[in-house]
Amino acid sequence: METINFRIQGMSCGHCVASVKQAIQSVQGVDSVTVDLASGSAKVQGEAAIVEEIKKAVQEQGYSASQTEE
């Protein structure tokens, strides 16, 4: 289990946060996720191998995700 940080682009309200959170949670291997609107970021606890699947799930909802160091 690792902590993986993402920068999420395109979120503008609480509904966006809920959509992104749900998209990430739907990925197999994700244990928990927190999404922060103000900083446009998401912190995921899960397996390191799922990064690309998370990006894809977020993109399918109309947002973009890129992995960051912090």
Q: Which stretch binds Cu ion (CB under 5 A): 5-13, 29-37, 42-50, 60-68?
A: 5-13
Based on the shown chain and the rule CB under 5 A, indicate whether residue 1 belongs to the binding site for Cu ion.
no
**Strands annotated E in the chain:** 2-9, 30-36, 41-46, 64-68
- Of 5, 9, 12, 22, the one binding Cu ion by CB under 5 A: 12
Burial of 37 (C-beta count, 10 Å sphere; 0-12/13-18/19+): middle
Task: Note whether 38 binds Cu ion by CB under 5 A.
Answer: no
Sites of contact with Cu ion (CB under 5 A): 12-13, 15-16
